[in-house]
Amino acid sequence: MDPTTPRTVQDYIDEVPRWPDDTLVADVSLTTMQWRIWILATAGKFFEGLVVFMTGVALPLMSLEFHLGATEKGLVGAASLFGILIGATVLGGLADVAGRKVMFIIEMVIFTVFLVLVSVSTSFFWTIFFLFGMGVALGCDYPTAHMMISESIPSRVRGRLVLSAFGFQAVGALAGTVLGYLILRERDSVSDWRLMYAAAIVPAILVIIGRFFITESPHWHISVGKKEKAQREMERLLWRNPRYPKTVVLADGPPHPRAGRIGFGQLFATERIRRATILAAVPWFLQDLSTYGIGIFTPTILAASIGAPSSDASNLAGIISQDMLGAKGAAVIDLLLVAGIVGAVICADWIGRIKLQIIGFIGCAVGLLIASGSIYCTGTAKISLIFAGFILFNFMTNLGPNAMTYLIAGEVFPTRFRGVGAGFAASFAKIGAVMTAYLFPILLQHIGTATLLYILTGTSLLGAFVTWRFAIETKGRNLEEIE
């Protein structure tokens, strides 16, 4: 092809060089810049898993220090998730206006500031507020991190790389649980929960610094009519040694309304976009109902199921012992989150997003049914059923809906309002997460574990149906073709 012929952004990113005899090069590795973007995008998902799931380990100590009841415990679990809802709604769409890179940096600055504040918090009110602030930053990261990756890499590996970055949520969940356990084992202070959060401050600062040294999305530059800047960023993004391509000549992008005029109404403007909005948002909402409730309160459920309750609810040694027991069991179960995301990375560009999401929802329902059976057993059978159910649930949720909903939401919307669309889907999903995190301890107390697990089984099956009904498969399709 003539190197002076204008081409689209995705044409350049997807291009495979040819040998002199016109044979395609067998394999083209990603550039250093593409890998740098991917690594820095993993950080937001890691911190989300770390903070949200570590809260389950920190909660018993917070409860002892602040004398929390079931309602207050629900607020602690829901605070960061409610922040994610607000952040995805309010800040996520700003990436369509200010740019992906700008929001990529701002969100991590906000997260770090509130991370420092929660680690020195001295009251229940301020702890809730600071957890909420961290969630706002993480909510912005949902659409922004996805777009930073998906708009910078070849279509043939987009699913694998987006999902492997998302998989660091599971790595963060495991790390948060293990970190909480290690701190509890080495110390015996009621304020140890602050140290759990403080341990993430230095890594967060390093991520902020790294995000200054990446490219802005050429797709975004083209979508707002900045072709010259898009060409410069393309040259930085695709820099190789030896240089290929030697020159970048981009075609004009399609005429679009100014990004600042895009709002949520655009997500329901046509039948095709409404279908995409329902597919991106509703299954994610149904998935979050169970994933966050089970994830946050796994240590509590396990401690109550397999451990002897402390005779004195204010006994620090007894509470720490129970907390360690629950954290240890949760860490084992969290390993299956990692295994599930590995399966998703392998299968997403092979089996497809829709099939995996449907299979995953059904598998989650089976896992929850198995766990609910533990209520009617005692001894070894009780422990075996609850572990088997939670292990299957964690594996299937990350193989299917927890991973696929994130991936699909960043692929089915046009570039000019991809941030708004993915942000709306994430915020709508977090309504489910906030509901279950707040209501879980209350419902556990009033309707019991079995009934709650039956309800979540039903929502998982509903998620499978909605996915099938509004399916849009994006496997192997480049973003411009989908648009």
Q: How many Cβ atoms from other residues are within 10 Å of residue 215's Cβ?
A: 22
Report the range out of 328-332, 400-404, 476-480 with the highest average pLDDT.
400-404
Residue 309 has pLDDT above 80, yes or no: no
Residue 95 backbone class (left: φ over 0; alpha: ψ -120 to 50; beta: rest): alpha
Domain boundaries, the chain: 9-17+28-242+266-476
Dist. CA 394–CA 298, nearest whole Å: 11
Highest mean pLDDT among 39-53, 243-257, 308-322: 39-53
Structure tokens at 70: 């079931």
Residue 108 has a pLDDT of 96
Q: Contact 85/223 with Cβ under 8 angstroms?
A: no
Mean pLDDT of 273-278: 92
What value does the mean pLDDT take over residues 175-188?
79
In this predicted structure, what is the pLDDT of residue 175? 85
What integer pLDDT is reported at residue 137 of this predicted model?
A: 94
Residues 319-367 have pLDDT tens digits of 555 555 555 555 666 677 778 888 888 888 889 899 999 999 999 999 9
Judge whether residue 85 has pLDDT over 90.
Answer: no
Residue 461 has pLDDT above 70, yes or no: yes
CB 101 within 8 A of CB 145: no
Which band of pLDDT confidence, cut at 50, 70 and 90, is reported for residue 301?
low
pLDDT tens profile 115-140: 999 999 989 999 999 999 999 999 89
Tens digits of residue pLDDT in 152-169: 998 888 888 988 888 888
Residue-averaged pLDDT of the chain: 83
pLDDT digit string, tens, across residues 24-45: 666 668 899 999 999 999 998 8
- Superfamily of domain 9-17+28-242+266-476 in CATH is MFS general substrate transporter like domains (1.20.1250.20)
How distant, in Å, are the alpha carbons of 31, 156, 476 from that of 28? 9, 11, 17
**Quick one: pLDDT at residue 360?**
95
Distance separating alpha carbons of residues 396 and 399, to the nearest angstrom: 5
Kindly report, residue by residue over 359-388, the tens digit of the pLDDT.
999 999 999 899 888 777 777 787 788 778
* Amino acid (1-letter code) at residue 415: T
193-243: pLDDT as tens digits: 899 999 999 999 999 999 999 999 999 999 888 999 999 999 999 998 877
Distance (Å, whole) CA 120 – CA 109: 17
